[in-house]
């Protein structure tokens, strides 16, 4: 996990397959720490060749980390993170959904504003903000992340990326 992070720091592109393998390792480590509160299910659209699909590195890890630390860590029941990858109409959609504690409507709105904020001195939500900014800088302003949440149900963070053309 650490090797993947260090190898990809500063790299412009990796493959979705490498990202997914790194997330499986990261999640296994967290499962050792949190037990049944951390489980990962990965669902990939069958026609997506993850080993040949280029993506920016280190986009998914902050989402998984947030799902664990903010969504699942305080659970007393088994937690589940579902990572779903689909592609349609030129959009690659990577979705991280947890069945954790969720957010109130007000907290969700504050989080959304912090993610869009360009204030570099605000260290809250920096992982999500960095992911969102990197996506927008690389793919364009029409891409980025979307956050939805419901208190006591869970949170979903969806990345919208430009799908590569053949």
> Which tops the pLDDT comparison, 31 or 4?
31
Contacts of 107 (CB under 8 A, 6+ apart): 149
* Cα–Cα distances in angstroms (integers) from residue 60 to residues 22, 67, 77, 96, 158, in the given order: 9, 11, 24, 8, 10
Q: In this structure, what token pair is assigned to residue 112?
A: 């959304």
Closest CA to 87 of 138, 46, 139, 144: 46
Distance in angstroms (rounded) separating the CA atoms of residues 52 and 19: 12
CB-based contact 85:50 (threshold 8 Å) = yes
**In a 3-state reduction of DSSP, which class is residue 155?**
strand
Share of the chain above pLDDT 70, in %: 88
pLDDT digits (tens, 9 = 90+) for 122-140: 556 678 998 999 899 999 9
Task: Say whether pLDDT at 70 is over 80.
Answer: yes
Instruction: Grade residue 164 by pLDDT with cuts at 50, 70 and 90.
Output: confident
């Amino acid at each position: 996990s650490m090797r993947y992070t260090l190898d990809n720091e500063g790299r412009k592109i990796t493959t979705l397959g490498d990202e997914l393998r790194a997330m499986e390792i990261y999640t296994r480590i967290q499962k050792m720490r949190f037990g049944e509160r951390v489980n990962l299910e990965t669902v990939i659209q069958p026609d997506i060749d993850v080993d040949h699909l280029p993506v920016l590195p280190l986009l998914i890890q902050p989402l998984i980390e947030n799902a664990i630390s903010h969504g699942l860590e305080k659970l007393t029941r088994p937690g589940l993170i579902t990572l779903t990858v689909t592609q349609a109409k030129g959009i690659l959609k990577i979705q991280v959904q947890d069945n954790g504690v969720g957010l109130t409507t007000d907290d969700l709105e504050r989080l959304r504003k912090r993610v869009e904020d360009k204030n570099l001195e605000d260290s809250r939500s920096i992982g999500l903000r960095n992911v969102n900014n990197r996506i927008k800088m690389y793919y364009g302003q029409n891409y980025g992340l979307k956050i939805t949440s419901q208190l006591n149900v869970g949170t979903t963070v969806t990345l919208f990326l430009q799908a590569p053309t053949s």
